[in-house]
């Protein structure tokens, strides 16, 4: 099996996809055969002409999955890269219920295993944060829980975790909560990447938060990704090479 990292975040929209792409481009630039996966994607766009519910589910376009496929230059099917997709922009457990398609965790694990045989390093983007429910009551590691969470998927995929955090006001609380929950669950947390997902405003919180996090966080801050004006493969790659040290992941 290949090496890899699971990219989670302190929240949705903090830049997991952009950071995943940056890690992939930096690894590829170092000659590593890096692959990507977005195991569950919600908020997918349906192909408009498809009307039947069953076919519609098959034709959902996963924007994160497609972006990562392009960044990693993979020739694999989207059915492996983004095997579980929903139309509603909701937590997977809720979208699955609304769209009446239960999520099979085995499908995700099989897709991951197939890809990880082919790539030296897999970058797996989570959905939302650690405690986003993926499916309803299932056994996780022998104990009965109300839901199977993203953190359970991380355990099943046996991957170390990188937490993406934003630099703006509120991030100290969100980051420490996420890091502490991950550690409490026994996850192998490689560290936090602070991502500037918005143009800098000059706000005092944004300026001081990285230092405060370095001081208070029980795991290392392994990177700071600046705002990338124009999100293209080349720009992400150039920024990643300059600002992210990925050798430690290998
Ligand atoms: N470093 C960055 N520079 C410029 N724009 C960024 C950066 N990071 C994120 N963004 C932008 O912020 C938005 C959210 O980022 P992204 O899609 O990566 O978040 P996410 O955590 O993957 O969200 P989701 O939970 O929906 O998967 C996107 O429009 C993205 O282009
Ligand atoms: Mg994303």
Please report, for residues 36, 53, 137, the alpha-carbon distance to residue 167 in angstroms, rounded to integers and kept in the order given. Answer: 25, 41, 35
Can 158 be counted among the known catalytic residues?
no
Q: What pLDDT does 237 receive? A: 97
The DSSP annotation for 209-224 comes to HHHHHHHH-SS-EEEE
Q: What pLDDT does 211 receive? A: 97
Please report, for residues 162, 189, 192, 227, 244, the alpha-carbon distance to residue 198 in angstroms, rounded to integers and kept in the order given. Answer: 20, 25, 18, 6, 18
8 A C-beta contact, residue 250 and residue 32: yes
Nearest to 115 by CA among 149, 68, 160, 150: 68
Domain 3-249 superfamily per CATH: P-loop containing nucleotide triphosphate hydrolases (3.40.50.300)
pLDDT over 90 (residue 51): no
Q: What pLDDT does 144 receive? A: 74
Domain ranges of the chain: 3-249
Q: Out of 6, 8, 13, give the residue to mutate to test ligand 1, the one with the largest number of ligand atoms within 8 Å of its CB.
A: 13
CA distance 101 to 95: 9
* Mean pLDDT score of the chain: 94
pLDDT over 80 (residue 59): yes
What is the arithmetic mean of pLDDT over 104-115? 97
- C-alpha angle 93/124/76, rounded to 5°? 100
38 lines ligand 1 (CB under 6 A): no
* pLDDT tens digit sequence for 32-45: 999 999 999 999 99
What is the arithmetic mean of pLDDT over 99-121? 96
Active-site entry in 3, 30, 33, 38: 38
Taken as a whole, the chain contains a residue count of 250
195 lines ligand 1 (CB under 6 A): yes
Helix (H, G, I), strand (E, B) or coil at 121: strand
Cβ partners under 8 Å of residue 136, min gap 6: 93, 97, 146, 147, 148
Q: What pLDDT does 54 receive? A: 63
pLDDT over 80 (residue 18): yes
Question: How many CB atoms neighbour CB 39 within 10 A?
Answer: 26
* pLDDT tens digit sequence for 144-198: 788 999 999 999 999 999 999 999 999 999 999 999 999 999 999 999 999 999 9
Residue with tokens 């143009």: 199
14 lines ligand 1 (CB under 6 A): yes
């Amino acid at each position: 099996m290949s090496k890899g990292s699971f990219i989670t975040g302190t929240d949705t929209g903090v830049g997991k996809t952009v950071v995943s792409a940056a890690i992939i481009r930096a690894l590829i630039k170092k000659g590593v055969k890096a692959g990507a996966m977005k195991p569950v994607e919600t908020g997918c766009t349906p192909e408009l002409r498809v009307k039947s519910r069953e076919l519609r589910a098959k034709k959902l376009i996963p924007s994160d999955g497609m972006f990562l496929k392009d960044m990693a230059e993979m020739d694999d099917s989207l059915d492996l890269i983004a095997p579980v997709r929903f139309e509603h922009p909701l937590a997977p457990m809720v979208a699955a219920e609304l769209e009446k398609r239960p999520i099979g965790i085995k499908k995700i694990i099989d897709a991951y295993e197939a890809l990880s045989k082919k790539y030296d390093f897999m970058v797996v983007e989570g959905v939302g944060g650690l405690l986003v429910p993926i499916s309803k009551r299932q056994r996780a590691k022998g104990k009965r829980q109300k839901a199977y969470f993203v953190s359970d998927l991380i355990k099943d995929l046996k991957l170390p975790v990188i937490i993406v955090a934003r630099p703006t006001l509120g991030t100290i609380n969100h980051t420490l909560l996420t890091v502490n929950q991950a550690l409490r669950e026994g996850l192998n947390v490689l560290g936090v990447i602070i991502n500037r997902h918005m143009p800098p405003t000059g706000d005092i919180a944004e300026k001081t938060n990285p230092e405060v996090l370095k001081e208070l966080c029980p795991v290392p801050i392994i990177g700071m990704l600046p705002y990338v004006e124009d999100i293209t493969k080349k720009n992400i790659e150039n920024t990643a090479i300059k600002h992210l040290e990925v050798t430690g992941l290998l």
